[in-house]
């Protein structure tokens, strides 16, 4: 065992002495040592319940003959930080979480790693860290929140964001906004639609990094504790066989994950995160892969934000295994790929498969809700290296209009709430990319306010930032290169005509090349937002969105 270097031999007597002080007994030194990374915080509902899940997974590990050690990693709430300077920290936290997992795994030479995740970036950050650890590992998702309810209507956090726009437009009263605010979040768990957390939780099951069916179990469902103990058993068996993520994660595993995202109208953040996870394991993946898989994968799940049902209702219908089974039946997943159990994806889906009679959440491929998946990659003179659109939430595939250019999210939000955005406008928010913000914040506050005011189908939005999984409408993000490094989005001026042609996968400004060259020559770079500390280091090292916004490695 790798941990023998820490716990065995004459010279490690001091280490054993310290370990005895935290409860390690004589017989425990013969067991595998497992790190349990807990992203608990009582600062938000998503991760609020992870303390209990840590107890459950540690109990399962002990039952299976391993010895667990729990430690913490940070978690930033997207829902709380949205629309504020705090949102800069969200994507940056993905790298800090991955670093934290890797650091402790190496510092203690653990034999296996568990990451308990919930809010958005803890999931990919945990996966990246587990892979870097180089040992058997599993990422467990805390689960979705229960839907809120108000006047017979299901609520999620996006309901509150959209209610802000409805209030600004005079469609609801202050009292109604307050009631929606009070009822949308009934308890622990991550945001309740097919937003980023639930999208990535499903993607990790498709990859094989999470047990099939586990992540779909809601946060407060009575089945969660037992399943969490069993996950401890699964990891213990993987440690016995030294079965590591590097042994089963393949290019086809990642194509399976993309197909699951596309089939459920999932979050565009999955593009960033799957690119980043693939890089950790050395698998080649590009923006084009997302577009190609999405073209051949129909949307078969009727889920919020564009559809009808919450993630809790998906679980009641049959959960992730139900989605995977429908895709396997249509030949849209590679069922022979292995998972953390050592079994194939198809074998694990068969074990977990169930379908509630009469469910209306997931449909066979031949009854698909949309013929192609939700992920679209656009290119053109505004996005030479690509941009990402979630098509599942919009019916418009062609848009042309004048640019309304803003150099910050706050400036755009001010105009939205003042009702100064008009039908036909193309709202542009720039200098909010990976380097420019830094941290590539999400724009859910702006997009939801537009939808709440009734402008969702009537305007488009472009940004070098990104969108929450809760965003819907003709909203295009991840534009690369970003404005901060002189990408073409930096050259746009108010009134420029912008064309979006989804069928042709085209995003362009209708200007002569000579004019764009003249503007490029006049363009001046901006000073960095931070010159010291973590945010400055991140901005200096981060790659562009089309590369997953990962940090550069030192040159060999």
Q: 171-195, pLDDT tens digit by residue? A: 999 999 999 999 999 999 999 999 9
What distance in Å separates the CA atoms of residue 328 and residue 349, rounded to the nearest whole number? Answer: 9
What distance in Å separates the CA atoms of residue 167 and residue 310, rounded to the nearest whole number? Answer: 24
**Beta strand residue intervals within 199-316, DSSP E:** none
Tokens coding 187: 């308890």
Report the range of poorest mean pLDDT among 122-136, 345-359, 390-404: 390-404
Sole residue written with tokens 């906004």: 177
Question: Could you count the other beta carbons within 10 Å of the beta carbon of residue 305?
Answer: 27
| Mean pLDDT on 194-210 | 97
| Mean pLDDT on 478-503 | 98
Question: Residue 413: helix, strand or coil by DSSP?
Answer: helix
Q: Is the pLDDT at 470 greater than 80, yes or no? A: no
What mean pLDDT value characterizes the chain? 96
What counts of helices (H) and strands (E) characterise the chain? Answer: 21, 14
What distance in Å separates the CA atoms of residue 305 and residue 310, rounded to the nearest whole number? Answer: 9
State the helix-helix crossing angle for 287-296 and 269-281, rounded to 10 degrees. 120
In this structure, what is the dihedral angle of CA atoms 482, 486, 489, 490, given to the nearest 10 degrees?
A: 120
Q: Is the pLDDT at 394 greater than 60, yes or no? A: no
Tell me the pLDDT tens digit for each residue of 104-145.
999 999 999 999 999 999 999 999 999 999 999 999 999 999
Q: Which of 93, 117, 267, 468 is catalytic?
A: 468
**408 flagged as catalytic:** no
Q: What is the pLDDT of residue 66?
A: 98
| Mean pLDDT on 8-22 | 97
**Beta strand residue intervals within 319-451, DSSP E:** 375-380, 383-390, 398-406, 426-429
Q: What is the pLDDT of residue 393?
A: 53
Question: Residue 245: helix, strand or coil by DSSP?
Answer: helix
Q: What is the pLDDT of residue 403?
A: 98
pLDDT band at 487 (very low <50, low <70, confident <90, very high): very high
Q: What is the pLDDT of residue 250?
A: 98
433-460 burial, b at 16+ Cβ within 10 Å, e below that, comes to bbbbbbbbbbbbbbbbbbbbbebbebbb
Q: What is the pLDDT of residue 395?
A: 64
What distance in Å separates the CA atoms of residue 205 and residue 345, rounded to the nearest whole number? Answer: 9
Q: What is the pLDDT of residue 456?
A: 85
pLDDT band at 392 (very low <50, low <70, confident <90, very high): low
Q: What is the pLDDT of residue 89?
A: 97
Q: Is the pLDDT at 163 greater than 70, yes or no? A: yes
pLDDT band at 396 (very low <50, low <70, confident <90, very high): confident
Q: Is the pLDDT at 556 greater than 80, yes or no? A: no
Residue pair 336/347 in contact by the 8 Å Cβ criterion = no
pTM for this model (two decimals): 0.96
pLDDT band at 451 (very low <50, low <70, confident <90, very high): confident
What distance in Å separates the CA atoms of residue 500 and residue 283, rounded to the nearest whole number? Answer: 31
């Amino acid at each position: 065992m790798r941990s023998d270097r820490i716990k065995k031999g004459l010279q490690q007597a001091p280490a054993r002495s310290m370990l005895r002080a935290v409860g390690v007994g004589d017989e425990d030194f013969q067991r595998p040592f497992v790190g349990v990374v807990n992203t608990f915080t009582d600062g938000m509902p998503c991760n609020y319940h992870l303390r209990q899940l840590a107890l459950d997974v540690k109990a399962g590990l002990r039952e299976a003959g391993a010895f667990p050690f729990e430690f913490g990693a940070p978690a930033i709430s997207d829902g709380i930080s949205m629309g504020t300077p705090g949102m800069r920290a969200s994507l940056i936290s993905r790298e800090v979480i991955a670093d934290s997992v890797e650091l402790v795994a190496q510092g203690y030479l653990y034999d296996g790693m568990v990451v308990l995740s919930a809010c958005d970036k803890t999931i990919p950050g945990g996966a990246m860290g587990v892979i870097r650890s180089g040992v058997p590992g599993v990422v467990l998702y805390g689960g979705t929140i229960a839907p809120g309810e108000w006047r017979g209507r299901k609520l999620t956090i996006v309901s509150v964001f959209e209610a802000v726009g409805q209030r600004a437009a005079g469609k609801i009263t202050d009292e109604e906004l307050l009631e929606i605010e009070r009822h949308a979040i009934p308890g622990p768990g991550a945001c309740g639609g097919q937003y980023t957390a639930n999208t990535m939780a499903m993607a990790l099951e498709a990859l094989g990094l999470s047990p099939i069916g586990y992540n779909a179990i809601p946060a407060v469902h009575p089945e969660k504790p037992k399943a969490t103990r069993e996950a401890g058993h699964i990891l213990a068996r993987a440690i016995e066989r030294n079965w590591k993520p590097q042994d089963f994660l393949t290019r086809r595993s990642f194509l399976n994950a993309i197909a699951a995202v596309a089939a459920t109208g999932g979050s565009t953040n999955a593009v960033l995160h799957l690119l980043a996870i693939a890089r950790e394991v050395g698998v080649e993946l590009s923006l084009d892969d997302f577009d190609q898989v999405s073209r051949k994968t129909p949307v078969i799940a009727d889920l919020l934000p564009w559809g009808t049902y919450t993630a809790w209702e998906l679980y009641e219908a049959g959960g992730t295994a139900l989605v995977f089974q429908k895709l396997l039946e249509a030949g849209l997943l590679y069922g022979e790929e292995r998972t953390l159990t050592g079994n194939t994806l198809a074998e694990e889906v068969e074990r977990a498969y169930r379908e509630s009679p009469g469910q209306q959440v997931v449909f066979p491929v031949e009854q698909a809700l949309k013929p192609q998946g939700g992920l679209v990659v656009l290119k053109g003179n505004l996005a030479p290296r690509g941009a990402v659109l979630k098509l599942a939430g919009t019916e418009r595939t062609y848009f042309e209009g004048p640019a309304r250019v803003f150099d910050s999210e706050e400036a755009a939000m001010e105009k939205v709430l003042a009702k100064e955005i008009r039908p036909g406008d193309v709202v542009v928010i720039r200098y909010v990319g990976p380097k420019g913000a830094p941290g590539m914040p999400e724009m859910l506050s702006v997009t939801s306010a537009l939808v709440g005011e009734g402008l969702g189908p009537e305007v488009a939005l472009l940004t070098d930032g990104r969108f929450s999984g809760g965003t819907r409408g003709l909203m295009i993000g991840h534009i690369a290169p970003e404005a901060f490094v002189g990408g073409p989005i930096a050259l746009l001026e108010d009134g420029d005509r912008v064309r979006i042609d989804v069928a042709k996968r085209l995003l362009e400004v209708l200007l002569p090349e000579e004019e764009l060259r003249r503007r490029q020559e006049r363009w001046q770079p901006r000073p960095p937002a931070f010159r010291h500390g973590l945010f400055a280091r991140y901005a200096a090292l981060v790659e562009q969105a089309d590369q997953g916004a990962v940090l550069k490695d030192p040159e060999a």
